[in-house]
Chains A and B, each alone.
Chain A
Amino acid sequence: MSGLAVRAVPLLGALAVWAVVAHGNAWLGVVNPVLLPTPLEVGRAGFDLAASGELVRHFLTSLGRIAQGFGLAAVTAVGLGLLVAMCVPLRLMIEPVIEFVRPIPPLAFLPMFLVWFGLGEASKIAFIGYTTFFPMFVAIAAGVLRVDVVLLRAAASLGASRGDLVRRVVLPAALPGIVVALRVGFGLALFVIVGAEFMGADAGLGHLIMEGRTFFNPAQIVVGALVLGLLGSLINTLLLATERRLIRWRPEA
């Protein structure tokens, strides 16, 4: 059996279980069938939303917010992570602050972002940026600190300047850690975009889901959730492939 088939069988199995439970419920009437949509109903809802162009609009809106917020956070986290890891006084200044702010659940600050940035795009982008920045920054700085000092010595004795050390030793050595940090950060972006779009948004997959609740349309809720899941695994696969391409030198782990 090919790798694809090995992955497809359990997925089809899960779909079958869902279908049996939903149709069984519809037939036996345990709960109101509207509360437990069948795969077919969800598929139809998805098709209708796609046909009207609504699904694409919501999808692109969410994707745009994630791309901007996550992109901003990623660039800042890589830059600051490198800087803080390599500059001891800066690290001593910043570390306690980060350690204090980091454990606060990001959603606790969501209303603050709405107060600061309003209901428009800026508040969502800023919130995703804020949420994803900390874990990425901490992981990247830790990765840079783990770079073997012997490699730095070897490069310095071959004539590397400070800039050479950053570009030719620290960056490539920390790259596996950076890519992992970006993957974690992206997962988190997907996680919080929904929350951000629940509150005061007029588009986006989170808004689509909330609309499903408002108009009592559970099938639409499931469509929104499934699309988010698909987006997440798609991006994750892309990042994994990038990682494998960039880090061919690593032993097979």
Chain B
Amino acid sequence: MPPKIQIQRVGKSFGAAERATPALGEIDLDVAEREFVCLLGPSGCGKSTLLNIVAGFLAPTTGTVLVDGRPVQGPAPDRGVVFQEYALFPWLTVSGNVEFGPLLQSRPAAERRSTVERYLNLVGLSAHADKFPVQLSGGMKQRVAIARALANNPSVILMDEPFGALDAQTREVLQDELSRIQRVEHKTILFVTHSIREAVYLADRVVVMTSAPGRLKQVFPVKLPEVRDRFAPEFTQYEADITRVVREEVAKVRE
């Protein structure tokens, strides 16, 4: 089976031709169907830029991204996106937000209702269906955003530091939930983070990027059981190995 996502020689520079600053070196990366890949790297390394290119929000300066063998031309419902800043529609209720995708695809009302019910249940927010986003905590907002992405039934989900704005406890709770959801939904997930612990907890593969312009530095397949224990010695070992590699890059930024 060909890879679900093929990132081929993708580079990105910002600004006019001669004075352009390269943000992203040439990246080659394949993501398999149902694989959970975390992009890790020092801030400003272009990991979010890469995610935005896969989402179709930005056009690459060089190279192409293929999803299911077709080049990415722009945003489309086959690639759901979860943003750090939640990006919920504040004028819609929780269920209105989750229903947004199915409504755009003109799904019949009964089907939309059951979809909304199912995904709100999955993220544990059935009791809050009629609230507006302004009435929710950060953790709850991000659950709604995840439910909204899933309800549209994309095959790929792109997550841009989704838990970056949450406090440490809420963050781990949501990591647990995402890991549980992935065991049910089996999506192909590309997940940007700068938390090594988060990456080891969630990913099948952790991709460490270099400092700007970002390139691939090292790829760590995480061979841990599906349900992970943050305090297991193997887990800590992965954390230590990856930390060492990330530190080299962070040090370069400081120089």
Give the residues from 60 to 110 in chain A that come closer than 8 angstroms, CB to CB, to chain B: none
Docked-complex contact A250 and B87, CB < 8 angstroms: no
Which residues on A sit within 8 Å (CB–CB) of B87?
148, 150-151, 153-154
Judge if A225 is at the interface, Cβ distance under 8 Å.
no
Interface centre among A154, A158, A159, A169 (most CB of B within 10 A): A158
Judge if A239 is at the interface, Cβ distance under 8 Å.
no
Docked-complex contact B134 and A157, CB < 8 angstroms: no
Docked-complex contact B89 and A172, CB < 8 angstroms: yes
Give the residues from 117 to 166 in chain B that come closer than 8 angstroms, CB to CB, to chain A: 132-134, 148-149, 152
Taken together as a complex, chains A and B put the C-alpha atoms of A154 and B134 apart, in Å, by 17
**Which of the four size classes fits the interface of chain A?**
20 to 34
Taken together as a complex, chains A and B put the C-alpha atoms of A175 and B152 apart, in Å, by 26
Which residues on B sit within 8 Å (CB–CB) of A155?
89, 100
Q: Known contacts A156-B74, A158-B152; is A249 also within 8 Å of B91 by CB? A: yes
Docked-complex contact A153 and B132, CB < 8 angstroms: no
In this complex, how many residues of chain B approach chain A with their Cβ under 8 Å: the count is: 28
Docked-complex contact B134 and A158, CB < 8 angstroms: no
Which residues on B sit within 8 Å (CB–CB) of A247?
91
Interface of B is mostly: loop
Judge if B57 is at the interface, Cβ distance under 8 Å.
yes
Give the residues from 61 to 110 in chain B that come closer than 8 angstroms, CB to CB, to chain A: 74-77, 79-81, 83, 85, 87-92, 100-101, 104-105
Residue of A nearest to B134 (CB): A251
What 1/0 mask marks residues of chain B from 37 to 80 whose CB sits below 8 Å from any chain A CB? 00000000000000000011100000000000000001111011
Taken together as a complex, chains A and B put the C-alpha atoms of A161 and B201 apart, in Å, by 37
Taken together as a complex, chains A and B put the C-alpha atoms of A247 and B133 apart, in Å, by 13
Taken together as a complex, chains A and B put the C-alpha atoms of A157 and B51 apart, in Å, by 13
Judge if A145 is at the interface, Cβ distance under 8 Å.
no
Q: Known contacts A155-B100, A159-B76, A159-B105; is A250 also within 8 Å of B81 by CB? A: no
Interface centre among B56, B89, B133 (most CB of A within 10 A): B89
Which B residues lie at the A interface, using CB under 8 A?
A: 55-57, 74-77, 79-81, 83, 85, 87-92, 100-101, 104-105, 132-134, 148-149, 152
Can you sample 25 A-B contacts with CB below 8 Å?
A148-B87, A150-B85, A151-B89, A153-B75, A153-B83, A155-B89, A156-B74, A157-B75, A157-B81, A158-B77, A158-B80, A158-B101, A158-B148, A158-B149, A159-B76, A159-B101, A160-B104, A172-B89, A172-B91, A173-B91, A175-B91, A247-B91, A249-B92, A249-B132, A251-B134
Which A residues lie at the B interface, using CB under 8 A?
A: 148, 150-151, 153-161, 164, 168-169, 172-173, 175, 247-251
